[in-house]
Amino acid sequence: MKIIRAKDYDDMSRKAANVLAAQVLLKPDSVLGLATGSSPLGMYQQLIERCKKGDISFAKVVSINLDEYAGLAPEHPQSYRYFMDHNLFNHIDIPPASTHLPNGLAEDATGECERYEALIASHGGIDMQLLGLGNNGHIGFNEPGGSFEKATHKVQLTESTIDANKRFFDSLDEVPRYAYTMGIRAIMQARRVLLVVAGSQKAQIVREAFFGPVTPEVPASILQLHGDVTLVGDEEAFSLI
């Protein structure tokens, strides 16, 4: 695992953008596994600026996002489709048809999971998977105690995740209880993984995930067994390692 230490959130965002931009420069038709959340927001801003300057192009990139809330329409402001469109896709030159997320409104959950698996396979797997780290060690919405073997699935969110995500909703009741997520299997099959983490609230879980035992109780710990992981974090997130 490569560990890149950054001063603060802005520095982390620039350094992580360097890694992702290098991937796209070296392989313009990269398949990127992308994530939502607070951690990659600054990095997306950096990538938008670089794309506008003409330093990088996403014209040939395919993006396949990690996850989506079940029950939210794409135009719902808290859906991950909305997040990705507004925080990245609408501002770069990626063709909309090349951007993919699970369909939160799918009526047939099993069929939707199968469609997503087939989509990943049809693009030859993921070249670079971007991840944030949940306070409970989740990656995507692969929650503690799940199976490392899992493919794309519909998952019931844990109380800890619902609590962490309530800041984006008007009330706790509005936070979806289920989500679709890419499984650990596809994440582990990605050729490269880039994980971004910032803030003191992540310090303990960074230590457990990357310096503790590999266990389904801390889903991100499986990344210790991946051959090409780059972890970019700020001083606060790395304060216990």
Site residues, ligand F6R (CB under 6 A): 35-39, 66-67, 132-134, 138-141
* Rounded Cα–Cα distance for residues 218 and 205 (Å): 8
* Alpha carbons 101 and 123: distance in angstroms, whole number: 14
Which residue lies nearer to ligand F6R by CB, 24 or 205? 205
Nearer to ligand F6R, 57 or 85 (CB): 85
Strands 62-65 and 31-34: parallel
Q: What's the closest the beta carbon of residue 68 comes to ligand F6R, in angstroms?
A: 9
Q: Which of 65, 136, 142, 165 is catalytic?
A: 136
Q: Which is nearer to ligand F6R, 13 or 23 (CB)?
A: 13
Within 70-191, strands assigned E span: 99-100, 128-131, 153-156, 178-181
Beta bridge mates, 103:
none
Closest approach of Cβ 53 to ligand F6R, in Å?
26
Closest CB to ligand F6R among 89 and 141?
141
Residue nearest to ligand F6R (CB): 132
What's phi and psi for 191, nearest 5 deg? -70, -35
Is the torsion defined by CA of 102, 103, 104, 109 positive or negative? negative
Q: Which tokens in the block code for residue 128? A: 């670079």
123 catalytic, yes or no? no
Active-site annotation holder among 138, 165, 234, 236: 138
138 is catalytic: yes
In the residue annotation, 136 being an active-site residue is answered as: yes
- Catalytic residue annotation: 67, 136, 138, 143
